[in-house]
Amino acid sequence: MAFAKEHPMPFNKIHVPEDLPTETCRAINDLLHETLVKTCSSHPDDYFCLVCRYPAGDMIFHPTFLGQRDVESTIVIEIALLAGRSDTQKDALFKDVRQRMAEIGFDPRNSIMFLIENAPIDWSFSEAGSVKSVWAT
């Protein structure tokens, strides 16, 4: 599949407690992917995720910073993506993800999300080099 400049790709990293069921992790990534397609114009085929598990006590969260959370159940969603989304798109992304989490039975208060934006030169998926190099050919 060729990289689509009009649909800058994301890469999701979901940091979860080690006892969170695999099915829940997949459901969270699925809803995250669906939301990225809906709100941020990500391509439906750009489906990349790494689930990182941590034992209790290895993640240190303030239980009341900007809202109440269950520290033992908190997940962190880190989304790396090519820059270019508007603040409106980002706000819609955060809101929609939290709404969908509630719909699958995961308390959205127990989630922290953040975006890391970068440029095509910062990505490489093959020996062809950076995404910028592939787009230039």
> What is the pLDDT at residue 127?
66
Quick one: CA torsion of 23, 45, 93, 17, rounded to 10 degrees?
A: 30
pLDDT tens across 39-83, in order? 998 889 888 899 999 997 888 777 777 777 877 888 999 999 888
pLDDT tens across 6-17, in order? 556 788 999 999
